[in-house]
Amino acid sequence: MVSRRPPVRRRRRGHRARRGGLSAGERIGLGLLGAALVWSAVAALVRRLVDNPPVLVAAAVLAAGAGAFAAFRLRERARWERIRQRGLRYALPQIDALAPAAFEEAVRELMSRDGCPRAVRVGGAGDNGADVKATDPFGRLWVIQCKHRRAGSAGSPVGTPDLQVLNGTGRPVHGGDVVVLVTNGRITDRAVAFARSQRLHLVDRALLARWAGGSTPLWELLRAVPPPRRPTRYS
């Protein structure tokens, strides 16, 4: 006689999946149960606070105190930032030692110190000739290109081609009211003449030393700056 093997019983895939985890319906049910428990705990806490006025008052006082402390910290942080900006100074040796990106950031900080809280550094690839943009208290938009020379006055001078790029984007692309080039180096005579003919403003090494090392806003150091866009407490 030929013996037959008992048939192999195959497990259902659904049964295996059932053992390995919860079904979608069970997960939804557990989620709803958890939400109900949380809601019940919150409701019980609210009822307890309502039934116990002293506890409710204490909770309100603690919440108010926490809010007042957070507001105080924010005011103190803003106050110290204003103090830091008022005392912000850069000497020329410090500026010469900066990397180009750090020089752009220093110019942004100086504009912020002067009263442009929303001054931003936009330098980098695709900046279209603008490294720093800032709106002064008079509503004028400043578009600034920064040219850093590690060798300072001994480095290569800024020439007309650099200004031509700035002139082509400062007003047409960025909509600047005051278009400025700032450098810690020299500027050629031709570039100075070109800037004058195109109403561009130049901050060379000597003027940069006065601006960065003092406390006078840049618009008070430059000549022929456009008039304010709107009346302010400064005007």
pLDDT digits (tens, 9 = 90+) for 88-141: 999 999 999 999 999 999 999 999 999 999 999 996 666 788 999 999 999 999
Largest CA distance in the chain: 117
In this structure, are residues 182 and 107 in contact, taking their beta carbons and an 8 Å threshold?
A: yes
Enumerate residues 6+ apart whose C-beta is below 8 A from 165.
Answer: 129, 145
Torsional sign, CA 207, 208, 213, 216: positive
Q: Place 72 in a pLDDT band, splitting at 50, 70 and 90.
A: low
C-alpha separations of 57 from 45, 50, 53, 69, 174 in Å = 14, 10, 6, 18, 55
Strand spans (E) along 8-109: none
What per-residue confidence (pLDDT) applies to 232?
47
What per-residue confidence (pLDDT) applies to 87?
72
Give the DSSP letter of residue 224.
S
In this structure, are residues 138 and 235 in contact, taking their beta carbons and an 8 Å threshold?
A: yes
What per-residue confidence (pLDDT) applies to 92?
96
Q: Place 158 in a pLDDT band, splitting at 50, 70 and 90.
A: very high
The distance in angstroms from the start CA to the end CA of the chain is 116
**pTM given for the model:** 0.63
**Chain centroid to CA 74:** 17
Using the predicted structure, report yes or no on whether residue 30 has a pLDDT greater than 60.
yes
Q: State the burial class of residue 80 (Cβ atoms within 10 Å of its Cβ: 0-12, 13-18, 19+).
A: exposed
Using the predicted structure, report yes or no on whether residue 80 has a pLDDT greater than 50.
no
C-alpha separations of 146 from 4, 88, 133, 165 in Å = 92, 19, 11, 12
Enumerate residues 6+ apart whose C-beta is below 8 A from 152.
Answer: 92, 96, 184, 185, 205
Using the predicted structure, report yes or no on whether residue 4 has a pLDDT greater than 70.
no
In one letter, which amino acid is 202?
Answer: L
In this structure, are residues 222 and 196 in contact, taking their beta carbons and an 8 Å threshold?
A: no
**3-state SS assignment for residue 136:** coil
What per-residue confidence (pLDDT) applies to 52?
81
